[in-house]
């Protein structure tokens, strides 16, 4: 069973539906015991980093997630949920993340040309840097859907894929059992469903 | 490289898809859920559902349809029509919408866009604006294009973007339904005025109209149309093949 962490950030209807569509057992929960008993944890998130990090801390779910991740349970962070996996973010100030992947989150404005629009919104192609089990059915150049203004950096060893937007932006990361997608697999059509299916099907092939 | 987006728009009334020519004389087309699945399968990059229902029964039907669509179609879904309050945002977001488009609601309540952007983020708030030339000036029209608000369109769009609208759908009433191409003059002025994505709407009649749009105005991010897709005059897969041949970046 996959537990989708419900900490009051964003709409989880589409995410839950996408797992339903691939036949994976999924539950939306804020219950620590459910997160502990789940096979895998999915950390979603849209909105502001500071607000989301605060909500995770106030609910105490941050500790459960980091404990479970350190115990080897597969974790997948999506969009802001991926950014929260890192040490810190420089989104309007400086904020601590979960520290499960080494690196930081910075404004894409730091690296993209001035005439590029922010947010980076729309379909962009994946360029792979290393293999990752959740991308085993996905090909170089496949398109996924992005909506973001900040990106993960200083995390070279974890980078699985980037997308070109005037600069290579981190699109997917993995450090052992901790996975992250900057894009929205639940909004990326058949390519996105393949990624979620591969995550749902993960069994002991990581670490 | 980010791709140009092709977006079919489904006007929904009482649970069925309709499309007017110049907003008048609506015609029934098909089931919204079936049409959404068909478009997603044929390469649509995003879908817009526009609720033109007036009654509360119809509104309930609309959210049921939205929920069913979002549980079967996994591409971005924008919802508009009857969005007047932050609570309206909440209502459709809970049913699976990713973005919410505001039109007359933003005219009635100038704070709506900033309030919604604060709560859900700029990326969630789409300004939809119906524009028509009146004595040589671009004016904002309300009530489905029937009422001249007297507001000058370009300054209105800039104000809404400054307030937090993350995208702008520019619908030209002058070209809508005419099928003779997008309103390039209007779109150029809007693209130069704002730095958020601009979606062209109104006037597409054939594949070449999209090619002309993206070649003439590379700053425009997406093309939106309704009836030409619904009636099969333009197939999205053919359109994307043609765009790729013309070196326009598309997802295929």
Q: Which of A6, A113, A120, A123 to mutate to test the interface with B (most CBs of B within 10 A)?
A: A123
* Residue B22: pLDDT over 90: no
**Domain parsing of chain B, residue ranges:** 5-245
**Domain parsing of chain A, residue ranges:** 2-201
Q: What is the pLDDT of residues B204-236, one digit of tens each?
A: 999 999 999 999 999 999 999 998 988 888 999
Q: What is the pLDDT of residues A97-136, one digit of tens each?
A: 999 999 999 999 999 999 898 889 999 999 999 999 999 9
Second-level CATH architecture of A2-201 = 3-Layer(aba) Sandwich (3.40)
Taking CB atoms and an 8 Å cutoff, what residues of chain A touch B74? 14, 17-18, 21, 186-190, 192-193
Task: Find residues 199-218 of chain B whose CB sits inside 8 Å of chain A.
Answer: none
Sequence-distant contacts of A160-163: CB under 8 A, at least 24 apart: A160/A128, A160/A129, A160/A130, A160/A131, A160/A132, A160/A135, A161/A126, A161/A127, A161/A128, A161/A129, A161/A132, A161/A135, A162/A126, A162/A127, A162/A129, A163/A124, A163/A125, A163/A126, A163/A127
Taking CB atoms and an 8 Å cutoff, what residues of chain A touch B124? 46
Q: What is the pLDDT of residues B91-105, one digit of tens each?
A: 999 899 999 999 999
Q: How far is CA B199 from the centre of its chain?
A: 7
Taking CB atoms and an 8 Å cutoff, what residues of chain B touch A197? none
How far is residue A116's CA from residue A122's CA, in Å, rounded to a whole number?
Answer: 13
Distances (CA, A) of B101 to A39, B66, B116, B183: 38, 14, 11, 20
- Split at pLDDT 50, 70, 90, the class of B23 is very low
**Mean predicted confidence (pLDDT) in B16-43:** 71
Taking CB atoms and an 8 Å cutoff, what residues of chain A touch B251? 123, 143
Give the CB-side neighbour count of residue B171, counting CA atoms within 13 A. 23
Cβ <8 Å between A187 and B98: yes
Asked casually if ipTM beats, i.e. exceeds, 0.95, the reply is: no
**How many residues can be counted in chain B?**
252
Contact between B235 and B42 (Cβ < 8 Å): yes
Longest dimension (CA), chain A: 48
Of A118, A123, A193, the CB nearest to B251: A123
Instruction: State whether residue A74 is helix, strand or coil.
Output: coil
Of B121, B166, B196, the CB nearest to A46: B121
CB pairs under 8 A between A and B: 84
Instruction: Look at the domain B5-245 and name its fold.
Output: TIM Barrel (3.20.20)
């Amino acid at each position: 069973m996959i537990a989708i962490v419900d900490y009051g950030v964003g709409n989880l209807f589409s995410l839950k539906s996408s797992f339903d569509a691939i036949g994976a057992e999924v539950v939306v929960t804020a219950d620590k015991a459910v997160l502990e008993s789940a096979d895998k944890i999915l950390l979603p998130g849209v909105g502001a980093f500071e607000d989301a990090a605060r909500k995770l801390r106030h609910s105490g779910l941050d500790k459960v997630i980091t404990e479970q991740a350190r115990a080897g349970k597969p974790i997948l962070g999506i969009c802001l949920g991926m950014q929260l996996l890192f040490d810190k973010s420089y989104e309007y100030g400086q904020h601590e993340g979960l520290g499960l992947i080494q690196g930081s989150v910075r404004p894409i404005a730091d690296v993209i040309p001035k005439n590029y629009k922010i947010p980076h919104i729309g379909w962009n192609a994946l360029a792979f840097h290393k293999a990752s089990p959740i991308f085993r059915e996905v090909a170089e150049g496949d398109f996924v859907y992005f909506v973001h203004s900040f990106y993960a950096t200083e995390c070279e060893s974890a980078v699985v894929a980037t997308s070109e937007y005037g600069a290579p932006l981190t699109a997917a990361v993995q450090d052992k059992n901790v996975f992250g997608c900057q894009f929205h697999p639940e909004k990326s059509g058949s390519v996105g469903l393949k990624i979620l299916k591969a995550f749902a099907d993960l069994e002991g092939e990581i670490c | 490289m980010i791709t140009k987006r092709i977006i079919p728009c489904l006007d929904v009334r009482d649970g069925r898809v309709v499309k007017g020519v110049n907003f008048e004389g609506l015609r029934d087309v098909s089931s919204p859920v079936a049409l959404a699945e068909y478009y997603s399968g044929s390469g649509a990059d995003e879908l817009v559902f526009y609720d033109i229902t007036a009654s509360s029964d119809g509104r309930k039907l609309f959210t049921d349809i939205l929920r069913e669509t979002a549980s079967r179609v996994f591409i971005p879904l924008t919802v508009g029509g009857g969005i007047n309050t932050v609570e309206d945002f909440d209502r459709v977001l809970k049913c699976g919408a990713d973005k919410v488009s505001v039109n007359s609601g933003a005219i009635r309540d100038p704070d709506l866009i900033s309030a919604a952007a604060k709560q859900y983020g700029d990326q969630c708030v789409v300004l939809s604006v119906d524009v028509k030339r009146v004595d040589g000036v671009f004016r904002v029209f309300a009530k489905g294009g029937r009422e001249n608000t007297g507001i000058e369109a370009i300054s209105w769009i800039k104000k809404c973007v400054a307030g937090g609208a993350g995208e702008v759908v520019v619908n030209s009433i002058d070209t809508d339904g005419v099928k003779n191409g997008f309103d390039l003059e209007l779109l150029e002025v809007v693209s130069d005025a704002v730095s958020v994505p601009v979606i062209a709407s109104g006037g597409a009649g054939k594949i070449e109209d999209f090619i002309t749009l993206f070649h003439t105005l590379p700053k425009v991010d997406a093309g939106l149309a309704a009836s030409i897709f619904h009636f099969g005059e333009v197939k999205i897969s053919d359109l994307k093949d043609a765009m790729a041949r013309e070196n326009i970046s598309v997802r295929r």
